[in-house]
Structure 1
Amino acid sequence: MTNRVKIMQEMQEAASAAEAMSPDKLLFPYKGVLYPRVLCSAETFEALGSFESREDDVMLVSYPKCGSNWTLQLLQDMVYSIHDKEPPAIIPKLEFGSPDKFEKLKQESSPRVLATHLFYDDLPKSFFDKKVKMLLLIRNPKDTAVSLFHFYNNNPVLPPCSSWDTFFQDFMSGKVCFGSYFDQAVAWNKHIDDEGVMIITFEEMKKDLDAAIKKISEFFGISLTEEQIQLIAKMGTFKSMKEKSTKSDVECLQVIFRKGEVGDWKNYFTEAQNQEMDARFEECLAGTKLGEMINYNVHCKS
């Protein structure tokens, strides 16, 4: 059994525990943000504050459903698989799991591939002290909202939503797991020019995965040949990963990859919802560097 499958089985155990809980107990608040109870805990957050990063850690940051699991597997392929190594049997998202995971991470050899959905100000101080390189993955807010809606209804660790209309209002008010999309984007926009921060979009990865892999590997200083880049891209298309997850016996792996499309929001948004989202984007991100990278007029206008 591979370590990757072991991690997924651990996630499956969490999902099974969630199925025995009432929907209103599945999320819990910590410092004003909602988190999945069976994956996160206040004790883990407190232990995370003193986590010791390393200068060569490979760090991925994203809001949920922006392509983080897809990109995480690509990073693991770049660091581990291409060199015939297995990723460690530890959930790479820092906030997931029990506090003892940080002791286990201390024993792992470098470089370590790590990930998080946390806000900029909630990241451990050591990441900034050590000037760890961080890849920020973003996706247009309309497709992100639709993807998160389906994730709520297909993932037992999250409470199901009665309707898209209800979920949309929760998304806009930030009353969803991991908080407000726009609050996180605004916070990161302040640091978009910081040394050691690189932004990549879900949409550009979908358009040219080979170029995205090359760009990411060069940012982290991972030496890959053109042949290796092409191999990782071939193994790592969204379609390929979805097919592998469908064949997997681990149910929660099948939930992670749904459509991975650009523009699926057009099947859900009403005109009033379009106007509300457009106005929020205009208020929060229009004219910013991060807003320009999202390319809102191309991806979020009918």
Structure 2
Amino acid sequence: MAEDKTFVDKISEVLAKCEGLTLKDLLFSQGTTYPVTVCSAAMFQALEDLEARRGDIVLVSYPKCGVNWLIKILSDLIFTAIQSKPVSTELPFIECGDPGKYQVKMKQIPSPRILATHLNYDCLPKSIFKNKAKILVLFRNPKDTAVSFLYFHNNVPGIPRYSSWDEFFSELMNGKVSWGSCFDHAVTWNKHIEDENTMIVIHEDLKENLTASVKQIAEFFGFSPTAEQIQSIADRATYQAVKDKAQEIHGAVGSFLFHKGKFVCVVEDWKNLFTEAQNQEMDAKFKVCLEGTLSVLQGIEERLE
């Protein structure tokens, strides 16, 4: 039997699939648009076979909101708690990869498993809710998200490029980018912020006080690290610490998780690209989408100015 390919090998395969694709060829529709290089109709059908466990750690975010950062933090918390690293050769997002992985490979991963996803609430496997797995949802200022998304698209070798910021902004606002509309994603999850077993984290708050955030996340998932261990985990999750490990962990895309010499958590970089008209358009869209809902996103709304 052939050995499993490493995670880095799989990232290289994904990038190879991108070669020669146009932006139009990159995306397919499953109600929402997804990249053909990592998602497929067969994958979404197979996703229903995922049998979630009560001890699973579910991490949710729209692309480029910092979920890889949270994966690093949670992996460190797990290792600190049980002295075992959550090792998997699979792509880290449940909607990505080989449709057959739910039949055998995912079942072989010991608990606690980290299940990351960019999916909207209604697209998650029902077993996650049935078995009451805990869900951590990460939100980020959509303007910074947009800039980080474009930077990643236009700088990773092989991935189809957008011709301009204006082209990307238009496609983003119309939900025609990978994983669809960031507003639809926010709306579906914002409706469930008070659900049992759900915790909301705002990216900017995580950056502003990493140590306190690590403590809150640990408590939510039932870990009990000491104050010294929490500080140590936070120290290992700083920009420089994560940067040093980026290419080792993420392969060819590792260095592109950094924008202008900073980790993906760079804040207010959007001011360098948004026109005043685009700024107003996104403000208006954000407020309309969240109008009338119980919103934990007020902290983000304050940062839209």
Q: Same fold (TM over 0.5)?
A: yes
| CA pair 67-248 structure 1, distance change in 2 beyond 3 A | closer
Return the offset for 1:64: 0.5
| Distance (Å, rounded) in 2 between the aligned partners of 1:157 and 1:202 | 28
Length, aligned pairs only: 295
Q: Report if the CA contact (8 A) 1:189-1:288 is conserved.
A: yes
| Distance (Å, rounded) in 2 between the aligned partners of 1:157 and 1:71 | 26
Q: Report if the CA contact (8 A) 1:152-1:160 is conserved.
A: yes
| CA pair 262-88 structure 1, distance change in 2 beyond 3 A | same
| CA pair 249-222 structure 1, distance change in 2 beyond 3 A | closer
- Report whether the alignment pairs 1:61 with 2:66: no
Q: Report if the CA contact (8 A) 2:80-2:225 is conserved.
A: no
SS of the aligned residue for 1:35 comes to: strand
| Distance (Å, rounded) in 2 between the aligned partners of 1:220 and 1:226 | 16
| Distance (Å, rounded) in 2 between the aligned partners of 1:44 and 1:120 | 17
| CA pair 215-157 structure 1, distance change in 2 beyond 3 A | farther
| Distance (Å, rounded) in 1 between the aligned partners of 2:151 and 2:140 | 16
Which residue number corresponds to residue 214 of structure 2?
213
SS of the aligned residue for 1:252 comes to: helix
Which residue number corresponds to residue 50 of structure 1?
49
| Distance (Å, rounded) in 1 between the aligned partners of 2:270 and 2:250 | 30
Q: 1:269 aligns with which of 271, 274, 292?
A: 274
| Distance (Å, rounded) in 1 between the aligned partners of 2:13 and 2:171 | 28
- Report whether the alignment pairs 1:12 with 2:24: no
| CA pair 145-130 structure 1, distance change in 2 beyond 3 A | same
Return the offset for 1:246: 5.6
| Distance (Å, rounded) in 2 between the aligned partners of 1:85 and 1:195 | 28
Return the offset for 1:243: 3.4
| Distance (Å, rounded) in 1 between the aligned partners of 2:244 and 2:81 | 21
Q: Report if the CA contact (8 A) 1:36-1:158 is conserved.
A: no
Return the offset for 1:20: 4.2
| Distance (Å, rounded) in 1 between the aligned partners of 2:98 and 2:204 | 33
SS of the aligned residue for 1:228 comes to: helix
Q: Report if the CA contact (8 A) 2:80-2:229 is conserved.
A: no
Which residue number corresponds to residue 188 of structure 1?
189
SS of the aligned residue for 2:99 comes to: coil
- Report whether the alignment pairs 1:227 with 2:231: no
SS of the aligned residue for 1:290 comes to: coil
Which residue number corresponds to residue 75 of structure 1?
74
Following TM superposition, where does structure 1 have runs of at least 4 consecutive aligned residues deviating by more than 6 angstroms? none
Return the offset for 1:81: 6.0
Return the offset for 1:50: 2.3
SS of the aligned residue for 1:114 comes to: strand
Which residue number corresponds to residue 173 of structure 1?
174
SS of the aligned residue for 1:198 comes to: strand
Which residue number corresponds to residue 239 of structure 2?
238
Deviation track 1:120-178 (CA, whole Å, cap 9, x = no partner) reads 00000101111111000000111111111111112356421000011111111111100
Deviation track 1:251-282 (CA, whole Å, cap 9, x = no partner) reads 11222233321111111110000110111112
Amino acid at match of 2:254: L
SS of the aligned residue for 2:6 comes to: helix
Q: Greater shift after overlay, 150-159 or 128-137?
A: 150-159
Return the offset for 1:230: 1.1
Amino acid at match of 1:144: T
Q: Report if the CA contact (8 A) 2:94-2:115 is conserved.
A: yes
Q: Report if the CA contact (8 A) 1:285-1:291 is conserved.
A: no
